[in-house]
Amino acid sequence: QNQQQQQQQQNGNHVIQTLLSTKDRNGSTAEHWAAGGGHLSCLEYLLELKRQVYDDGINNSTGYTKKETFSEKDKQKADKNKMEKGDQNGVNNDIQPKSGTITSNRSNKRSGKTSLHFAARYGHNHIIEFLLNDDPPPNPKTSHQSHQKEEEEVDIPSNDGTTPLHLACYGGHYNTVVLLIETYHADPTKVNDWGCSAAHWAAMSVCHDPSSVQICHYLKHTHYVPFTSTQKQNHTPLHKAAQRLNSFVIEWFYRSKEDGGAGLTTEEFEYIGQVKDYAGGNVASDIWIKMGGSEEFGLKMKRVFQC
């Protein structure tokens, strides 16, 4: 009878595991939707349910406890152990970081986002705090070594190396950007596989209002993130702002620091206006016009940046 009850429990867990791992056409699970929508109680429930149904498989087959955080390296080790010992629940127990289930396997470059990515993209700070606050935020005066695990967690990359901070910049969520950097020590200098930094993501923000400028200003003048660097397509952040028709950011580029702008040096100013991309030899003003921006503003860009 005990064996029968155990089998029924395993079958029930199998059904719940299937529901928890079911993905939409973009590879997102219910957990991602809860995080992206800012639904904390829903996310808490899903994660608690996940701990319950995966508890036996994690503790028995990997030697890890269910509360531990798993890096990609840990995941590979756990998967190897399961291959050697056999999956005790009869299904593939996907070990994931506390920051959330990964959307898809490593073969899809544009997927691999966690719940933390979704929360950052939509500016849900209470979700971010829940995902990252196993313990109270560390004292800023403690050593770098004490932050190492936390930094790895907050900077967890998607398949193409995009971090939650990148997506917070893209969403135009200033308070989220500050939270990730100041409280959880996200690295503003990280770049993804395309060579795009936080500067590129902030410049091409979907938020076309002064808050996108606020993020750019914070990154450049507080954390000295360079805004003249190029990525693999030879796009500078100015190219990205033009691509998104973000006139607020473009105008920020040519204002002085005292006037609330980027405060570029003469050399930086001349350089950024002349950089041509690899696709068609386009300078930023060319991209602005090709994306449907007003010809008047495009001509102003050419005049200001002398391109």
pLDDT at 100: 54
Q: 3-class DSSP state for residue 71?
A: coil
Residue 131 near residue 115, CB atoms below 8 Å = yes
pLDDT for residue 19:
83
Distance separating alpha carbons of residues 194 and 166, to the nearest angstrom: 12
Q: 154 near 190, Cβ under 8 Å?
A: no
pTM value is 0.76
Average pLDDT, the chain: 80
> With b meaning 16 or more CB within 10 Å and e meaning fewer, what string describes 14-24?
eeebeebbeee
Q: Would you kindly state where each structural domain of the chain is located, as residue ranges?
A: 221-307
Q: Inform me whether the pLDDT recorded for 141 exceeds 50.
A: no
Buried b (16+ CB within 10 A) or exposed e, 230-239: bbeeebbbbb
Distances (CA, A) of 250 to 71, 126, 226, 243, 272: 38, 32, 15, 11, 11
pLDDT in tens, 267-302: 999 899 899 999 999 999 999 999 999 999 999 999
CATH numeric code, 221-307: 1.25.40
- Residue-wise pLDDT for 161-198, tens only, equals 999 999 999 999 999 999 999 999 999 999 999 999 99
Q: Which residue has the higher pLDDT, 60 or 168?
A: 168
Buried b (16+ CB within 10 A) or exposed e, 155-193: bbbbbebbbbbbbbbbbbbbebbbbbbebbbbebebbbe
- Please write the tens of the pLDDT for every residue from 5-38: 565 566 567 778 888 888 888 888 999 999 999 9
Residue 189 has what DSSP assignment?
T
Per-residue burial over 88-101, b if 16 or more Cβ lie within 10 Å, else e, is ebebebbbbbbbbb
Note the pLDDT tens digit of each residue in 80-92: 443 333 332 222 2
Residue 306 — very low, low, confident or very high, per pLDDT cuts 50/70/90? confident
Confidence bin at 230 (pLDDT 50/70/90): very high
Q: Tell me the per-residue pLDDT of 68-123, one tens digit each, with 9 for 90 and over.
A: 333 343 344 434 443 333 332 222 223 244 455 544 444 465 578 999 999 999 99
